[in-house]
């Protein structure tokens, strides 16, 4: 111990200063290492928090846009025409066309339907049905009694015009559907005459013959 103390006392001041500087440098390096090792952890946490915040904001924005789209969605309107009655008129024409078609098809004698495969028969079934519907539906007496669910004021010349127009534009297609045995209850909606807010005013559902009941 005495020898060691003697050696320590024998160190020059320059050596003591160098040792002190070395110890200070080591201490600084330790502090820097400590800060450097902590910063990646803190940086990762900050990036994760920022990413989570962006995800939440994006989800909120998408939800707001989706809600706005749903709020702005409009119901499909049909073509009501000048009279506002085209939907009901179309249903009436479909209803009377089916009734006239079934009558022509089931009549045992005197019906041109029975002579389709047996030579000339004068007017076709389609022409006879169209004429029957024109006469039975597109007249002021019948049109004046049509349902009026939206409460429009009826101007009969305009209602009569719309009836003739619907029959002219859609009568052949309706007759084709009846000829093929297609269901016609939704025809007026598929033809964009009736809209989402319109209801079925006539019983247009297919009825089975008595023999099938």
The pLDDT tens digits of the residues spanning 34-56 come to: 544 445 544 667 777 777 777 77
Distance CA 45, CA 132 (A): 82
Confidence of residue 2 (pLDDT cuts 50, 70, 90): very low
Task: Supply the pTM of this predicted model.
Answer: 0.57
In the predicted model, is pLDDT for residue 104 greater than 70?
Answer: yes
**If you average pLDDT over residues 78-82, what whole number do you get?**
86
In the predicted model, is pLDDT for residue 120 greater than 50?
Answer: no
Tallying the residues shown for the chain, one arrives at: 213
Mapping DSSP to helix (H, G, I), strand (E, B) and coil, where does residue 192 land? Answer: coil
**pLDDT value of residue 50:** 79
- Pick the closest to residue 174 from 64, 121, 114, 99 (CA basis): 99
Q: Is the dihedral of CA 131, 137, 142, 144 positive or negative?
A: negative
Q: Of the spans 6-15, 64-73, 74-83, 158-167, which averages the highest pLDDT?
A: 158-167
Compute the mean pLDDT over every residue in the chain, rounded to the nearest whole number: 74
Structure-model confidence comparison of residues 142 and 74, the more confident one: 142
Cα–Cα distances (Å) from 148 to 89, 135, 143, 145, 182, in that order, read: 10, 21, 10, 9, 27
In the predicted model, is pLDDT for residue 130 greater than 60?
Answer: yes
């Amino acid at each position: 111990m005495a020898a060691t103390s003697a050696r320590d006392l024998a160190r020059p001041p320059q050596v003591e200063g160098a040792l002190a500087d070395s110890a200070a440098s080591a201490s600084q390096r330790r502090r820097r290492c400590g800060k450097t090792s902590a910063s990646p952890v803190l940086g990762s946490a900050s990036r994760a928090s920022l990413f989570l915040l962006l995800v939440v904001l994006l989800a909120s924005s998408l939800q707001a846009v989706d809600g706005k789209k749903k709020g702005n969605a409009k119901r499909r309107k049909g073509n009501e025409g000048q009279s506002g009655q085209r939907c009901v008129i179309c249903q009436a024409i479909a209803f009377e066309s089916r009734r006239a078609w079934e009558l022509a098809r089931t009549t045992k004698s005197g019906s041109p339907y029975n002579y389709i495969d047996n030579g000339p028969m004068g007017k076709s079934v389609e022409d006879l049905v169209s004429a029957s519907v024109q006469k039975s539906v597109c007249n002021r007496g019948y049109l004046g009694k049509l349902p009026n669910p939206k409460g429009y004021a009826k101007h009969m010349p305009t209602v009569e015009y719309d009836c003739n127009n619907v029959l002219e534009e859609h009568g052949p297609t309706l007759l084709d559907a009846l000829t093929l045995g297609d269901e016609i209850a939704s025809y007026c909606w598929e033809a964009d005459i009736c809209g989402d807010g319109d209801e079925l005013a006539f019983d247009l559902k297919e009825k089975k013959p008595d023999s099938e009941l």
